[in-house]
């Protein structure tokens, strides 16, 4: 029988545990720091805290699934992503709207692409014994992510007018863009590594856990930096 609390040599289980605690601490931090933020940045910090709070809840459950069964907590994982990724798209759009003029249709395009990416990933992972579905869905999911990158680097969202918005807002936009590129890339890499060949369920979960840590906590920190930076003082931006 597996250890039902936590086996210290189970490094994947330990990573679930560490990230649960980090998500909890980050949630508290973003909520408390909201007081120091200016004007509409307050909403951004609230959303950042919602993202880590929702993830914290799911990490408690995911840790338990992993510790008790040794299997990937795929359903909890994707329920979490389906809630938190759209919230991050909202966050991205809020920042974008603060630095430049963007149409609402851009928001819906980014949101739809993120939902397609996640639904494809889910269908691929729960049908992992079917190579056609596993990799077909991977290609679909990756295309949706590449489309998001296209929108934020080349398309409408990229035309950030440097003359408009605050420097802090522009910096936040640029860091979020880097997170969506490099931070998000950890997920498809984990998928390939986790399912190629014999498959490696431990590597898959380590990659996803690490990626969530970067993409939820670092994402919030990038927003916190902009929200509390000196240039924003008294500007109510
Ligand atoms: C807080 C959770 C976040 C930011 C989750 C992001 C998830 C992804 C960027 C997933 C990407 C995937 C692909 C690009 C290909 C298909 C498999 C996925 C769903 C793992």
pLDDT in tens, 200-235: 999 999 999 999 999 999 999 999 998 888 665 544
pTM of the model: 0.92
Separation between Cα atoms, residue 222 and residue 33, nearest integer Å: 13
What's the average model confidence in pLDDT over 105-111? 93
Pocket test for ligand 1, best of 145, 147, 194, 223 (most atoms within 8 A of CB): 145
Buried b (16+ CB within 10 A) or exposed e, 48-67: bbbbbbbbbbbbebbbbbbb
pLDDT in tens, 28-49: 999 999 999 888 789 999 999 9
- 56 near 83, Cβ under 8 Å? no
Ligand 1: distance of its center to the CA of 128 in Å?
16
Ligand 1: distance of its center to the CA of 118 in Å?
6
Q: Please give the domain boundaries of the chain with CATH numbers for all domains.
A: 11-232 (1.20.1070.10)
């Amino acid at each position: 029988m597996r250890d039902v609390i936590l086996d210290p040599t189970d490094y994947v289980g330990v990573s679930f545990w560490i990230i649960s605690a980090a998500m909890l601490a980050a949630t508290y931090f973003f909520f408390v720091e909201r007081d120091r933020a200016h004007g509409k940045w307050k909403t951004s910090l609230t959303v950042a805290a919602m993202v880590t709070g929702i993830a914290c809840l799911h990490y408690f459950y995911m840790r338990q699934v992993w510790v008790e069964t040794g299997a990937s907590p795929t359903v909890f994982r994707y329920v979490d992503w389906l809630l938190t990724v759209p919230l991050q798209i909202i966050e991205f759009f809020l920042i974008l709207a603060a630095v430049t003029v963007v149409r609402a249709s851009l928001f819906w395009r980014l949101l739809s692409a993120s939902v397609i990416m996640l639904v494809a990933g889910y269908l691929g992972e729960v049908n992992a014994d079917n190579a056609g579905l596993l990799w077909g869905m991977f290609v679909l999911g990756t295309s949706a992510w590449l489309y998001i990158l296209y929108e934020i680097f080349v398309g409408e969202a990229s035309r950030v007018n440097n003359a408009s918005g605050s420097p802090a807002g522009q910096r936040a936009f640029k860091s979020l863009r880097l997170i969506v590129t490099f931070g998000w890339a950890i997920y498809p890499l984990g998928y390939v590594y986790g399912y190629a060949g014999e498959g490696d369920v431990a590597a898959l979960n380590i990659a996803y856990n690490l990626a969530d840590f970067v993409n939820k906590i670092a994402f919030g920190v990038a927003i916190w930096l902009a929200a509390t930076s000196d240039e924003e003082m008294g500007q109510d931006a």
